[in-house]
Structure 1
Amino acid sequence: KDDENVNSQPFMRWRDRFLFVAEAIFKSQAETGEIKGHYFNATAGTCEEMMKRAACARELGVPIIMHDYLTGGFTANTSLAHYCRDNGLLLHIHRAMHAVIDRQKNHGMHFRVLAKALRLSGGDHIHAGTVVGKLEGERDVTLGFVDLLRDDYIEKDRSRGIYFTQDWVSLPGVLPVASGGIHVWHMPALTEIFGDDSVLQFGGGTLGHPWGNAPGAVANRVALEACVQARNEGRDLARVGNEVIREAAKWSPDLAAACEIWKEIKFEYETIDTL
């Protein structure tokens, strides 16, 4: 993905970036026979410029773009969401700037409210915290975000911060994204917590592999498929998750190397997203 802070700075103009990355996407598709994507950041200083970048991505034939919905604003985001829907593009939503609003204990708005506003505005998936990793939040509170984003009907549950029953009727859902400081050892917990209808983004957890980007991607994919298979077999990932990863690492050198590099990585601080 593009970084949320990357739009069109002098060292990386947007059109050059779009062209170079699109070439890499098509090359990887030809080599693997699978659909690949990259979140092209269309966020810009004006709505007109934003739509121009979205149109360029569509003309290149790429499947997905992204938008910083809080810095861009809700009206701009809704316009972009409608454009993407009409033109067959997926829209990834980044929550850049949310911490200024939702991490203030004395004022501001909780991310639960910002997430619901995004669902009303439009988008296909949005960062929602990880429970584990760098963007950690309380498990129950984060699951409250997840349910409010993707379910049609959510029962009142104060333990998860849902203070009244929410009926979305026919409004489309939004997939939650777990991203930030996650790596292969987090895969069992992520599989258990977020389930199938979610997006797991491993940035440093891929690029930080000692053998390079492609082995990093292989390691993450092997770990994910091993965890999904174990879950489908009825195994308790909360209890045997590390064992599942170790078993898979025996026949995947890429995963074994990733397990070794990430085994001592921990983020130690108090939970951020709370009631």
Structure 2
Amino acid sequence: MNRIKAKYLIETPFPLDQAAEVLAGEQSSGTFVPVPGETASLKERFAAQVTSIEALDTVTTPSLPGAASNGESYRRALIEVSWSVENVGFNLSTLVSTLQGNLYELPQFTGLKLMDIDFPEDFGSHYKGPAFGIKGCRELTGVGKGRPLIGTIIKPSIGLAPEQTAETVARLAAAGIDFVKDDELMASPANSPFEKRVEAVMKVIHAHADKTGKMIMYAFNISDEWEAMQRNYDKILEFGGNTAMISINSVGLAATKALCDRRQLVIHAHRNGWGMLNRHPLLGMDFRAYQKLWRLAGVDQIHVNGIRNKFWESDDSVVASIGACFEPVLGGFEALPVISSGQWGGQAFETFRRTRSTDFLYLAGGGIMAHPMGPEGGVVALKQSWEAAVNGLSIEEAASSYAEFGQSVKKFAKIHHGS
């Protein structure tokens, strides 16, 4: 039978099998008491099933408040639960309500985190997945295998007029950038209305393409109310753009999927707000499960943070997130991992050592825009760092061999200790 499977990390003061059954019942046919109509045949067809329980450690302090028991010990385990696809159908919103829903409210748990999801094969015939993915993004930018796509974020994040943004893009394009994006804080403020920004930026991008044959990606932030997002999407098409950015946690799965289903623009998925879902080790959702949902919706690029980033996430977690993006979903659905957050060329060496891949979009904001030789030097330095990393050079050897990267080391290594 086609079933949806989910794995959870739980913590509970109750026996593990009892807590697992409460979870399964709450998210399928059950409630807190038996009800008329909940027949054995109905439960056999629709009830969630606990398929495995793997006991872990026991702790004496609950990770979260609100337990129904004042137990002296709290058991942790990995449990797997499955549902008939008949419960959900091809409905992403109902899928998420089934996988999470009221689970985080249950007093039987002092910790609960969705760790992984397996979709039934039927989903592969309904969901299209990313329209472009890694291969399509390389083709659009003309970047072959051997190095990542190099990109940056317009800084200052907000405050620049459309003409100022376009001037910056022109400089970056001339320096050989592959990708530029709006900051997630930039939507359509009074000083930079969306349409005027698109028109100004695309004018310089087309001029550069006419001159060099290279069409860079610019991810315009279309996040807004639903009708406005559709208009924004159409404006990018009207002016010949190829990429839109969505703050996916802000606009939601349904809106994101509807835009992805148009399959005319690359969809750059920004995960701002992600820490709210993941930062607590026993609450929320692991990135492995999270990115599967968004790839199912059809995003082409998704943020994964970066090595020695400016946020809280560990390098091990970032490497695991990158690896999760490379694992097939329903046999494919490949999305381009976006490495960002306090990046400069110094992290390229450790990133390549730990992943042995260049299938990334490597974003550096300050690492490009604040380079001592200007944004032009910043773009060149990023390319040099990846060339050196792939060729096995050390940071010191690269700094001696490449002038622009050497300047990066002088400025940024003091800020990113150990890089």
- What is the TM-score when the length of structure 2 is the normalising length? 0.53
Distance 1:126 1:258, change over 3 A: same
Paired residue for 1:148?
Answer: 324
> Which has more radius of gyration?
2
**Matched length:** 237
Write the mapping of 1:36-185 to structure 2, written as runs, cut at 5 A: 36-44=216-224, 46-83=225-262, 85=263, 87=264, 89-135=265-311, 137-152=313-328, 168-185=329-346
Distance 1:267-1:59 versus aligned 2 partners, 3 A rule: farther
Deviation by residue 1:11-50 (Cα, 9 ceiling, x = unmatched)? 2211111111112222333454322111111111x22211
The residue number in structure 1 matching 2:352 is 191
In the alignment, what sits opposite 2:383? Answer: 221
Percent of residue pairs bearing the same amino acid type? 25
How far apart, in 1, do the equivalents of 2:250 and 2:259 lie? 14
Q: Is the 8 A contact 1:64 1:90 kept in 2?
A: yes
Match of 2:214 among 22, 34, 37: 34
**Change in 2 beyond 3 A, CA 1:2/1:35:** same
The equivalent of 2:366 in structure 1 is 204
- Aligned 8 A contact 1:69 1:95 in 2: yes
Mapped pair 1:254 → 2:415: no
Distance 1:176 1:193, change over 3 A: farther
Structure-2 separation of matches of 1:247 and 1:113: 42
Cα contact 1:226–1:248 (8 A) shared by 2: no
Structure 1 unaligned segments of length 5 or more: list them: 153-167, 269-275
Deviations for 1:105-157, whole angstroms, at most 9, x for unmatched residues?
453223332222211211111111213232463344333322322222xxxxx
Partner letter of residue 97 of structure 1? G
Separation of aligned partners in 2, 1:59 and 1:192: 42
How far the C-alpha of 1:186 sits from its partner, in A, is 1.4
CA shift for structure 1 position 171:
4.0
C-alpha distance in 2, partners of 1:193/1:59?
A: 41
Would the aligned equivalents of 1:40 and 1:65 in 2 still touch at CA under 8 Å?
Answer: yes
Higher strand share: 2
Q: Offset of 1:8 from its aligned partner?
A: 1.1
Shift of 1:81: 0.9
Q: Deviations over 1:206-225 (max 9, x none)?
A: 00012221121112112222
8 Å CA contact retained: 1:207, 1:216: yes
Give the letter for the 1:130 counterpart: G
Q: Comparing both chains, which one has the higher relative contact order based on Cα–Cα distances under 8 Å and sequence gaps of 6 or more?
A: 2
Question: Could you say if the C-alpha distance between residues 210 and 222 of structure 1 is closer, same or farther in structure 2, counting changes exceeding 3 Å?
Answer: same
Structure 1's 186 and 148: CA in aligned 2 closer, same or farther, altered over 3 A? closer
Q: Deviations over 1:38-66 (max 9, x none)?
A: 1111111x222111111111121112111
* Shift of residue 169, structure 1, vs aligned partner: 2.7
Compute the TM-score of the two structures, normalised by the length of structure 1. Answer: 0.79
Moved more, 63-72 or 110-119: 110-119
Partner Cα separation in structure 2 for residue 191 and residue 244 of structure 1: 16
Which of the numbers 199, 219, 241 marks the counterpart of 2:394? 241
Distance 1:39 1:24, change over 3 A: same
Q: Deviations over 1:76-127 (max 9, x none)?
A: 00011111x2x2x211110011122222345322333222221121111111
Q: Counterparts of 2:368 and 2:211 in 1: how far apart (Å)?
A: 19
